[in-house]
Structure formats: C-alpha cells, structure tokens
Structure 1
Amino acid sequence: MLYKRGKTWWIDFTAPNGQRIRQSAGTADKTQAQELYDNIRAQTWRQVKLGERPTYTWDDAGVRWLDERSYKATIQKDMEHLTWLQPYFRGKPLTEMNRAFIMEVLEIKKKETSPASANRVLALVRAVLRMCIEWDWLDNAPKLRQYPENKRRVRWITTDEAARLLRELPDHLRDMAHFSLATGLRQSNMSGLLWEQVDLTRKVAWIHPDQSKNRKAIGVSLTDSAVAIIRRQIGKNPTYIFTYNGQSIHQVNTKAWRNALKRAGISNFRWHDLRHTWASWHVQAGTPISRLQEMGGWESVEMVRRYAHLAPEHLAGDSANIEGALSSLGTNLSQPPFLIAQKKG
C-alpha cells in the first residue's frame, strides 16, 4: 500500500517470504511514488520466487565498506576518496560498473591531480568491488590497471641543511622537527604523543596499535637529543607532549614552516621528508635495513629498500670480485691512443 506521512509518500507491503518492506518513496508526487512501489514489489517477487540477486548500487557498497572498515588507520582517506567519487558513481548499479566507465572517471582524477593520486582512488575502487564479490553482490569485478608512476627520488636533507632549518623555525615547530629527525616518527604519531607513552628513565616511547598506520605497535628508542626535547615540554600540557600555547598541535604545514624553509634555502621539502631524512641518515651511518624497518614501523622490508642505495659500502667486497679480470686488461687502455702509437713506433 501507499500512504502519506506529511508531504512524503511511503511504501508498505509484505513480500512473498513474509518480510515486511516499509520505506520512504522520497517524493511528494503520487505518480512517482506509485511507479517506485510497483518496481520494488516486482523486484522483491523476482528475488523471492526466482532467486534473483538484489540490485545493489555503488552507494550500498560504499556504506558497507565504511562500516566494516571503520578500524582502518586510513579510513579518513577512504572517506575522502569516496566523497570525490560520489558525483560520478552515485546510484550506479554494481552490475554496470565496467572498466570503461570506471577508467573514464579516474582519468578525470588523473588530470586534476596526478597518476599517483588517481592510483590511490583506483586501489580503493578495486578493493570495494572485490569485497562485493565476497558479499555475493557481484559475480566478478572488472580488471583495473594502475597508471604508470614516475619513481621519485627519496627527498632528504644534510645535517647542515637540517641545522639551518631548525634555526629558522619557531620554538614549537623546532622541537617537533628535531624530534622527528631523532625518532623518525610520523607527524600524526608525534602530534598525538601523550605523556603516558614515554618513559624518560628507560629512554623509550611507544605507539599503540590503534595509533600506527599499519595497526602494529611501535617501540621507540629515545636518543639523548630526543629525551632533552621531551624534557623541555614538561609543564606545558598535562596530556600532550607537543603543544602550542598549551594546546595540542594538529597542523604543521603552516605559513611558519614554509617561511622557515625559504629562509633556510630548502625547496621541494615536506614535513614527511623529515622521516625520510631520519631513515637516510641511519642507512648512511650503517644501520641494517632489517633494524631500520623495525624502528620505523614499516610493514614490509620493500618499503625500506628505497633508502638502501644511499649506503653501497657493503657491496665493496662483491664489486672487487672482478678486479682480477679488470687488471688483466693491462694498463695501456688507460693511456691516450697517440701514446700507444708512439710506443709501437
């Protein structure tokens, strides 16, 4: 039956399996409400009597994804991607989510931002559609290939550059940047670091699983520099270690940060590159990749290998293996051609 509640029509009927279907038609127009009522009744009958799968939309998938993945450290980023997709995917039946349609939308993202940003959105779409198969909402999902990305160099700065930057930063950002260089902690972990998470006597700190990017606890060994930085924060806030005017800090990419970079003569450098710098300094100082992975809380060793090229000294023994073959070539090859000719004459 159709009935009106206020200005809006509502749908109410019992399906063949005894399930009661009651929902808003979302319209004040009785003709539109009647059409929707007839379609829902017919669809429900086919599902019950013929075993047809319900028609799910991208909206249904997005809502369930966010509900089931609420534990993810990156759930906020998923929400941002889904919000961007919504104008293009809204109301789209999952059975119509073919490769051509999806890539047409992602092409817009690529032009607006970059191939890397488009790939992050693509990865989410692919993951959601794969879950739709697991939920028995889809039989199969389209194969989506990522866009090629340029392999960028790891951006890090020297100790001289770091010293210049620290001198230019205001006190609260200087302490945070210095602490990042001493520990390699991500900005979010440092901003949310609580006094209850440090033990200055043992010179350790810890990041709980629900605070880390990969949902694994991270133990942090504090250097003398890191301990000194923390001691300077005593008495500023009873809960958070790093604060500004007594309040916790949530934004570091500020005008003060950007101006300090300019005055220090450092370009193309983000706050996260302080973590890259920490890792680069460790590798160059001889810290093994496996140890660095544990210290930095990276999920896989492959994520740490991008720093390995900065310390090739460990390959010296292997590179010398062909020195015998090289020496057998003789010394004449290192002389200019006209000297060799003169000797022959």
Structure 2
Amino acid sequence: MALRKRNGSTTWHIDLRAPGGERIRQSTGTANKKEAEEYHDRLKAELWRISKLGEKQKHTWDAAALRMLKESTHLSSYVNLEIHIRHFRQFFSGRLLESITRDEIYEALPQLSARTKQPKPLSVKTKNMYLGTMRHLFNLAIKWEWLDRVPFLEDTKVANKRVRFLTREEAQRLIAAISTEWLRDVATLGFATGLRRANLLGLEWTQVDLVNRRAWIHSDQAKARKSIGVPLNDEAVAVIRRWIGRHPTHVFSRRGKIIPNVTSEQWKRQCVRAGIENFRFHDIRHTWASWHVQAGTPLNRLMEMGGWSKYEHVLRYAHLAPDHLAHHANAVTIWSQQEVTTPQTLAA
C-alpha cells in the first residue's frame, strides 16, 4: 500500500497512480494508520469510478487552496490570503472540498491575535477577513466547476463605531508635540492630503509635481488598486519642499534611509505628549475627510480624492455636514408658517 510518512511528518501521505496514469501524492490528514488506509481505499475507489464510470472528479481543499493562491498573486490582499490559508490548513488539509461544512469553517476561525505581545481576542473585522478568504476559495471552485454548491458564509456584523477625528486646535497641538522631524512632517502631510500611511512613507519624487501642486498614487500602490490624483495645498507643498535633496528617490527619509513604517508605540508616545487619547495614525485620514465634509466638499469629490472604491466608505462622514437637508426641516414643524400662534400664546 502506497502509504508513508515523510520529512518527519506525523501524518500519513498517499502516493499512488490513478487509472489514467496520473500520480497522486497528498496528505491523508491523519496520523492514525487505520484511518489513513481507509482514506487511501476510498480515494482509490473514487479514482476508479471517475475513470471507468465517468463520475465527476472530487478535489481536496489543499488543491483548491494552492490553485487559488496561484491565481491571486495580483491581488493586494495576497499576503493576507497566505496567512489565512496557513491557518485553515491545520483544519482542512487532506479533506475533500465538498465535505467541508459551514459550521466547521466558523469553528475553525481564529479567536486570538498572534501579532501582539499579549494575545488578545481577534476583532470581528479580522474574523470576517478570514471568512472572506474561504468564501473566495469556494467561489473559485464553482468557477472551476469543481463544486456545484458551496457553504453560505455570512459575515459577522461589525459594530459601527463613531469616526474619530481631531479639531484643528487638537491637530495643531499634536503636530507641535511630535519630537521627530520626519514623523512631524509625515503627519502634517497626512492631515493635508488624507493619504494612507504606506503612501505617505512610500511617496517618491517621481510622484510629485510641486510646480503644478499635485501628486499621484499609482494603481499598484493604492488599496483599491485605482490611481489617485492628489491636489497639494499650501501646507503640503511647504512640507515636501523641506525634504528636497535629502534622499534620491523618496520624499521622506531617516538618516538617509527609507522609512519602513510608523509603529503603534512610536505614535502613541507622540499622542501622550500632546494629551490626545484614542487616536491612531489612520485617524489622521478620518480627520482629513471630516474636515472636508464640514467645509462643504461633496461626497463624490471626497471619494475621488481619497481613493475609496465604494461610496459607502465616504457615507460615514455624511452626518458631519447636514446643511443640504436644512430646507427639509420645516416639513415637520408643529406650527404652520402662516400661523403666528405659539405654544406660549396658547398657554396664555
């Protein structure tokens, strides 16, 4: 029987030839030899039925995951897909794709974050990203005609949180409190343009036109994979000009080297110095959008400037400027406009 353990693995692996000559090598997903033998026999019988009786071939989760990754290398979420597949492999490796149920997928979702020093409960949003990967895999399986039906994987509802933004006075206090020049200017440019952290740190001189006061983010750098045109106001132009000649390719640098990231610890220290609480670096972008809406910038223009892919992403700011609804307010007044009578006169 073509069963063996390899590379120090505790699970049994199959190595056999299908009736058509194709070599099949895969994990049985079990360390129990009897269970592995049963799996081997079922697979061998299935391959015979496919070859001799024309039954539809069944595919494993491993094969689907590998093909999905090969076809998803162009996606901006590819790194996350790899992380998610690595997690789910411990639950579904060796399983036939059609045998995996909805309940099993929900039970396999991670519960704790492994990216923090102290494990903490994983957010609903992150769990939904894991679900999205499995949904993507099964939808592709339908496209490949590997399956006729797939589990229904509904996202867990994410609580709508209030948008966190600063007043201009708070923003001024924060900028003044930042002790490091490069971080101070990166934050200032963020308030002026609404660019995401990665786009701010990765901004190159070839993406800036100070004469025409504009910059641009290429499609492969944008989260929504769409190019973004960035108008530069006076503050943005002044910040960028201060960095001319410091680095050959990138606008911002630290000791002559490209800045890879702004860590949460770095940012929290600056917020503490300024007396600002509960304010992430990404909230600079929320602040920029909030200021625009309060100043009357139309939501469709804000969507274009911010590079959002869906209109619902900018609707979260709509409540900050309800002025366009003001003329509707009189539709529900207690007293008609013709009536001079007021509650006070009635009481008299």
TM-fit CA distance, 1:294: 0.7
Cross-structure match for 1:251: 261
Q: CA RMSD in A?
A: 3.2
Unaligned runs of at least 5 residues, structure 2 = 114-119
Matched, 1:65 2:74: no
Matched, 1:122 2:163: no
Q: How many residues align?
A: 332
Cross-structure match for 1:152: 161
TM-fit CA distance, 1:154: 0.9
Cross-structure match for 2:47: 44
Q: Distance in 1 between matches of 2:284 and 2:193?
A: 10
User: Contact 1:98–1:142 (CA<8 Å) still a contact in 2?
Assistant: yes
Could you list the per-position Cα deviations for residues 139-182 of structure 1 after superposition, in whole angstroms to 9, with x for gaps in the alignment?
A: 11111222222110111111111111111211111111111111
Moved more, 151-160 or 86-95: 86-95
Matched, 1:314 2:320: no
Query: In terms of Rg, which structure is larger?
Result: 1
Cross-structure match for 2:94: 91
Q: Distance in 1 between matches of 2:280 and 2:60?
A: 39
Aligned counterpart for 1:218 among listed residues 224, 228, 241: 228
Could you list the per-position Cα deviations for residues 298-343 of structure 1 after superposition, in whole angstroms to 9, with x for gaps in the alignment?
A: 11222111101101112112223445845567655257x9xx3xx4
Matched, 1:82 2:85: yes
Cross-structure match for 1:279: 289
Q: Distance in 2 between matches of 1:197 and 1:231?
A: 14
SS at match of 2:215: strand
Could you list the per-position Cα deviations for residues 66-105 of structure 1 after superposition, in whole angstroms to 9, with x for gaps in the alignment?
A: 1111111121222222233332233332112111211222
The residue type equivalent to 2:93 in the other structure is R
Unaligned runs of at least 5 residues, structure 1 = none
- Structure number with the higher helix fraction is 1
The residue type equivalent to 1:127 in the other structure is H
Aligned counterpart for 1:294 among listed residues 301, 304, 310: 304
Q: Distance in 2 between matches of 1:173 and 1:250?
A: 12
Cross-structure match for 2:116: none
Could you list the per-position Cα deviations for residues 180-200 of structure 1 after superposition, in whole angstroms to 9, with x for gaps in the alignment?
A: 111111111122211111111
Aligned counterpart for 1:208 among listed residues 188, 197, 218: 218
Could you list the per-position Cα deviations for residues 31-75 of structure 1 after superposition, in whole angstroms to 9, with x for gaps in the alignment?
A: 999988766654432222122333322222222111111111121
Q: Distance in 1 between matches of 2:131 and 2:14?
A: 38
TM-fit CA distance, 1:24: 8.2
The residue type equivalent to 1:92 in the other structure is R
Matched, 1:21 2:23: yes
The residue type equivalent to 1:285 in the other structure is A
Gap change, CA 1:40 and 1:157, over 3 Å in 2:
same
- TM-score norm. by structure 1 comes to 0.85
SS at match of 2:316: helix
SS at match of 1:106: coil
Q: Distance in 1 between matches of 2:70 and 2:343?
A: 70
